[in-house]
Amino acid sequence: MDGQARQISRITRGFYEKHAASFSQTRQRAWTGWQRLAVIMRARDAPTTVLDVACGNQRFERFLAQEGLIPDTVFAVDACEALLATSVPEMPQIEHVQADILELLDAGCGFKDLGVPACSLTVCFGFMHHVPTAQTRHVLLEQLLAATQPKGICALSFWQFQRDEKLWRKAAVATKDACARFDIGLANAGDAFLGWQDAADAFRFCHAFSDDEVDTLRKDAECLGARTLDDFRADGKHGDLDRYLIFEVC
């Protein structure tokens, strides 16, 4: 990553460190799109190991427990210690790994360098939009696939918040404020900052994915040997705020 991308990453990490508690309170419900992943999981051998990249407050683990899809081990990776500390009594077999994922990638490392073995299910939900630059997003995709066992599943979500007119307007205002505050200029289409509740100094970088960008990442994964199992939209009021890609790693 270049200097601006590193600055953007630090801003986003600082947001979560400062606002972890209030953010977690608003992130309790399972995502609608996870149900389609659960259908695929039930149609195959249940995963014995799960890698949850940027796990946040581990609501995906609670979802797995509620669905009766309980693996032997879950590796939950996140940079925010407060979110990692969230109790998930339904899933006692979680191994927490505190690590800054973007710093890991910037150092040329992968998840195996964190001591995480290849898993039968690898997921990355609600994080890809925090990754600055298309190149780094491609590297993350490569590492997620590399962290998945052959015949295993890799599932990702891509936030398309430009589909929500109200949210997109808020992003435009927050982006102007954040760019002035941090002396940053965002040149790439879809790049934005979002604020948080009534906090005047709370900003996190978010990239709104176009369909073309998601299509490119799907093709990148297929060129790396993955097979697309599902490609769909879900979540939000109109069921279209996230686009999901679910792969089988060959």
The residues, ordered by sequence, that sit 6+ positions from 92 with a Cβ below 8 Å of its Cβ are none
Domain segments of the chain as ranges: 3-161+210-249, 165-202
C-beta of residue 131 within 8 angstroms of C-beta of residue 137? yes
Residue 220, both tokens: 């990148």
Q: According to the model, what pLDDT value does residue 91 have?
A: 86
Residue 213 has what DSSP assignment? H
Beta-bridged to residue 73, according to DSSP, are 49
Q: How far apart are CA 47 and CA 54, in angstroms?
A: 19
Q: Do the strands 148-159 and 242-249 form a parallel or antiparallel pair, or are they unpaired?
A: antiparallel
- The model's pLDDT over 186-226, given as tens digits with 9 standing for 90+, comes to 989 999 999 999 888 899 999 999 999 999 999 999 999 99
Q: How far apart are CA 22 and CA 16, in angstroms?
A: 10
Residue 143, both tokens: 């590492």
Closest by CA to 69, choosing from 100, 44, 32, 88, is 44
Sign of CA dihedral 36, 112, 54, 181: negative
Please report, in tens digits, the pLDDT of each residue of the chain (250 residues total): 788 999 999 999 999 999 999 998 888 899 999 999 999 999 988 889 999 999 999 999 999 999 999 999 999 999 999 999 988 888 889 999 999 999 999 999 999 999 999 999 999 999 999 999 999 999 999 999 999 999 999 999 999 999 999 999 999 999 999 999 999 999 899 999 999 998 888 999 999 999 999 999 999 999 999 999 999 999 999 999 999 999 999 9
Closest by CA to 75, choosing from 107, 40, 123, is 123
Q: According to the model, what pLDDT value does residue 198 have?
A: 82
The residues, ordered by sequence, that sit 6+ positions from 46 with a Cβ below 8 Å of its Cβ are 69, 71
Q: How far apart are CA 133 and CA 17, in angstroms?
A: 22
Give 161's Cβ-side CA count (13 Å radius): 21
Q: How far apart are CA 53 and CA 127, in angstroms?
A: 8
What are phi and psi for residue 150, nearest 5 degrees? -55, 135
Q: According to the model, what pLDDT value does residue 2 have?
A: 86
Q: According to the model, what pLDDT value does residue 166 have?
A: 96
Task: Specify the CATH superfamily of domain 3-161+210-249.
Answer: Vaccinia Virus protein VP39 (3.40.50.150)
C-beta of residue 212 within 8 angstroms of C-beta of residue 19? no
Beta-bridged to residue 119, according to DSSP, are 148
